[in-house]
Amino acid sequence: MTGEKENDNVADLEKNKIYTGNSEKVRIEPNKQLDSNGNDTTIKLYKRRWFIVLLFSSYSLCNSFQWIQYGIINNIFMKFYGVDSFTIDWMSMIYMLTYIPFIFPVTWVLDKKGLRVIALVATALNCAGTWIKVASVRPDLFAVTMLGQFCCSLAQVFILGMPSKIASVWFGSEEVSTACSIGVFGNQLGIAIGFLVPPILVPNVEDMDELASHIRLMFYITAGVATLLFMLVIFVFQERPVFPPTRAQATARLVPLEQYSYSASILRLLRNKPFILLIITYGLNVGCFYAVGTLLNRMIIDHYPGEELNAGRIGLTIVIAGMVGSLICGIWLDRSKTYKQTTLAVYLMSFIGMLVYSYTLDLGHLWVVFLTAGALGFFMTGYLPLGFEFGVELTYPEGEGTSSGLLNCSAQVFGIIFTISQGKIMDNYGTLSGNIFLCVFLFIGSVMTGTDLSRDSKCVEILHEAVRPT
């Protein structure tokens, strides 16, 4: 009789469409469900989720475009600002350096304040940085353009850890890997455009006034896009859906924020041996990608003088192939849940791809470089969302922002080390030696990935069954 009475009450609530509790009125949908304690466990997927992840991808694109816009035309900016190549390399490395000290407070804000606050700060900083750069187009204002790049690099800290968080807050359990891949997709597409567009917009001309006008045009276009995206986030970006997409999210909403300890979460993650191994291997792989991207112009120009435009196209090929790899891997993971096996396979192919690219770079045929660079990008760049999702699997139920933040922090540290080291090796021993240096660390990462990174695979399957909606 009690069950029948409870069902009748729920039916009445559904009929009236209003439920009053804790002095708040909450709209009730026809599929509302209450657990034995009277807690709302309704789950629902909203079409708006696709717009949210696409908007995030768009402003992530705008930010990541600026990471490589100096490095891919390194020789041109050296001439315009009168600085050496290592100084221009820092225009990319500042993205990595800024991330390391700021990621922990930013992740705390993400866990405490939510997605909307983080999105607003990220787009505001990115917008400010682009307009500062507009004001820096003079040979004596390198410090100003560095300040603008610093603002954009700080915005990146508020961006890189969000894909897995958006995926878990807005998407169903069968869509999480795909949604995370779309989130990372925007970052990769921005890098691809960063490789392609600057060599087109800023040709290597001798007249300094003409060169300044080309640089200014590139900065104005970037500032306009950043401003538009900032306005969209202000008026459109939503914190979370009214009803959660999964049972796991419904349960997470019942935990008061006061009971969550960010420092305790960090300590638990640092005691998680499989996750520590993933932090190291993820950092090795993505750090190698950062080094290749930053130094690509120097690699290509060294063997193919005057080919700035093709250097950008090769970078585009690397990232576009990686985006395809990311989406394929995301869809595959949603269907198979074979995290460890897929991660190991992609890592091994990244090592092999880097080895082949290194030994074919100096053959004198650009079409060969395009081919090997595409194969390298498919696996190396395609590894990015794999690492995020594998990290979430290994650290559940810890916050997604915390685990992805630690992974990205590792990537930035290794990225700085590899970029500086490879640059010095290239200066003293040539491009091949610099690339072999990266191959060594990719091989080490492959061996470490092949060790027991995960808990028993059966445990992961049980975990998926536990969080999957019934």
According to DSSP, the residues that pair with 24 across neighbouring strands are 21
What's the pLDDT score for residue 243? Answer: 72
For residues 10 and 34, is the Cβ–Cβ distance under 8 A?
Answer: yes
For residues 145 and 81, is the Cβ–Cβ distance under 8 A?
Answer: yes
Task: List, for residues 242-273, the tens digit of each pLDDT value.
Answer: 777 666 666 666 666 555 566 777 788 888 88
Q: Give the residue-averaged pLDDT of 407-416.
A: 89
Residues in the chain: 470
For residues 58 and 228, is the Cβ–Cβ distance under 8 A?
Answer: no
Q: Judge whether residue 4 has pLDDT over 70.
A: no
For residues 439 and 351, is the Cβ–Cβ distance under 8 A?
Answer: yes
Nearest-CA neighbor of 424 among 85, 73, 74?
85
What's the pLDDT score for residue 130? Answer: 96
Q: How far apart are CA 417 and CA 388, in angstroms?
A: 22
Percentage of residues in the chain having pLDDT higher than 70? 82
Q: Judge whether residue 292 has pLDDT over 70.
A: yes
Peptide bond just before 198 cis, omega within 30 deg: no
Q: Judge whether residue 141 has pLDDT over 90.
A: yes
Q: How far apart are CA 336 and CA 42, in angstroms?
A: 27
Q: Give the residue-averaged pLDDT of 128-150.
A: 95
Nearest-CA neighbor of 94 among 154, 141, 138, 135?
154
Q: How far is CA 388 from CA 181, 203, 411, in A?
A: 9, 37, 12
pLDDT grade for 178, boundaries at 50, 70 and 90: confident
- The tokens for 217 are 């045009």
Q: Judge whether residue 194 has pLDDT over 70.
A: yes
Q: How far apart are CA 230 and CA 299, in angstroms?
A: 36
What's the pLDDT score for residue 262? Answer: 65
- The tokens for 60 are 């992530």
- The tokens for 19 are 């439920």
DSSP one-letter code for 257? G
What's the pLDDT score for residue 163? Answer: 81
Q: Give the residue-averaged pLDDT of 384-411.
A: 76
Percentage of residues in the chain having pLDDT higher than 90? 32
Q: Judge whether residue 396 has pLDDT over 80.
A: no
Return the ∠ at Cα 145 (arms to 142 and 147), rounded to 5°: 110
Cβ partners under 8 Å of residue 37, min gap 6? none
pLDDT grade for 320, boundaries at 50, 70 and 90: confident
Least confident residue range of 73-77, 94-98, 333-337, 431-435: 333-337
pLDDT grade for 450, boundaries at 50, 70 and 90: confident
What's the pLDDT score for residue 312? Answer: 86
For residues 129 and 158, is the Cβ–Cβ distance under 8 A?
Answer: no
Task: List, for residues 338-388, the tens digit of each pLDDT value.
Answer: 777 888 888 899 999 999 999 998 888 888 999 999 999 898 877 877 777
pLDDT grade for 21, boundaries at 50, 70 and 90: very low
What's the pLDDT score for residue 351? Answer: 93
Q: Mean pLDDT, the chain, as a whole number? A: 80
What's the pLDDT score for residue 78? Answer: 92
What's the pLDDT score for residue 269? Answer: 82
What's the pLDDT score for residue 254? Answer: 63
Q: Judge whether residue 8 has pLDDT over 70.
A: no
Q: Judge whether residue 106 has pLDDT over 90.
A: no
pLDDT grade for 177, boundaries at 50, 70 and 90: confident
Q: Which residue has the higher pLDDT, 18 or 140?
A: 140
pLDDT grade for 136, boundaries at 50, 70 and 90: very high
Nearest-CA neighbor of 70 among 152, 183, 166?
152
Nearest-CA neighbor of 287 among 25, 93, 71?
93
Q: Could you give the angle at which helices 273-303 and 176-201 cross, rounded to 10 degrees?
A: 20
